[in-house]
Structure 1
Amino acid sequence: MEYIIRKMNEEDIKEVQKVAGTSWNHTYKDIIPIEVQEKFLRSAYSDEMMQRRLKHTLMYVVVVDGKIVGFANFSRVDDSGIAELFAIYIYPEYQGKGIGTSLLKEGINNLENVKEIYMNVEKDNNNGKTFYNSKGFEVVSHVDEDFDGYILKTIRMVLRV
């Protein structure tokens, strides 16, 4: 399968919001109650938040046959060489095809002077944990977070580049 990775632009916002919603609902259907998911998605992927992400972070989209099928969102590197991976979301039918790996590499290659990339994954998100472990991320902590009244079991991981 051929795909293109490019920087996200403003015209991509609606498609990226669809990818986020579909992949979140698929990934967390048996982990996080749907009403909690929907509230999070409305906030984290609102038009205003997407504009902010475009302005202040690095966002990449994956395009297959003219359609966005996934995206990744990285913070920029601070003075100590630390960056954050906020999201790699891909439509379920496109997962397991190397797209996530390519998105991660794209971010690493474009984060100047990066030494460490941190990210969070939910303890019961086995596909996510397997992916990040296979890419060399290591667990640094476990945290219980109040996620709109739902206790999320978060694993904090780091990739040393």
Structure 2
Amino acid sequence: MIRPFQLVDIERLLQLFRWNTPQYFGEEELAHFETFLRSAPTDFYVMEVDAIIVGCAGFAYQKDTCTGQVSWFVFHPEYQGRGLGRQILNFCLDQLGKHQEMQKVIVRTSQLVEGFFSKAGFKTTYIEKDYWAPGYDLYLMEQRYPR
């Protein structure tokens, strides 16, 4: 089940993040994620399986540039590789797709997750070494719309 994020989810999502550090995230990124969560973001969602939060992701739309963005994909290590990330990505893309004037969707990720987004049709447009933290490069990727 995919449902809107609630402030009561913060501690469980921070735990998911810790379980993915350092495999997918640098330790420096935890504070940024926590600040994001505490800002009570809209258009941010959690995925539950059997009442357990197993992942999260969100999106935003910039009307002035006709650009969508997906962000903060974090999944429980035991639930990775089951197609759940693809489900929540498709959910986010479907929501963004309601903006008929949208021209592209971007994602800012790392080399560690670039393959996931490549399989979903995103193309790398820019790379910056050690952007997120030492050893965690920025991969700016985009997907043109309509798809």
Residues 100-145 of structure 1, C-alpha deviation per residue, up to 9 Å, x if partnerless? Answer: 111111111222313311112323x1xx222111100011112235
Write out aligned runs for 1:80-99 (5 A). Answer: 80-99=65-84
Distance 1:143 1:17 in 2: 26
CA change 1:51–1:39 in 2 (3 A) is same
Write out aligned runs for 1:15-30 (5 A). Answer: 15-28=12-25
Alignment partner, residue 5 of structure 1: 2
Alignment partner, residue 137 of structure 2: 153
Aligned to 2:12, the other structure's residue is in SS state helix
RMSD (Å), alpha carbons: 2.0
CA change 1:68–1:144 in 2 (3 A) is same
CA change 1:119–1:66 in 2 (3 A) is same
Q: TM-score, normalised by structure 1?
A: 0.77
Amino acid at match of 2:92: G
Aligned to 2:81, the other structure's residue is in SS state coil
- What percentage of residue pairs aligned between the two structures are identical? 22
Is the CA contact 2:21–2:27 (under 8 Å) kept in the aligned structure 1?
no
Q: Spell out structure 1 runs of 4+ moving beyond 4 A.
A: 145-148
The aligned length equals 142
Q: TM-score, normalised by structure 2?
A: 0.83
Distance 2:93 2:6 in 1: 19
Between Structure 1 and Structure 2, the one with more helix by share is 1
Which stretches in structure 2 are left out of the alignment for 5+ residues?
A: none
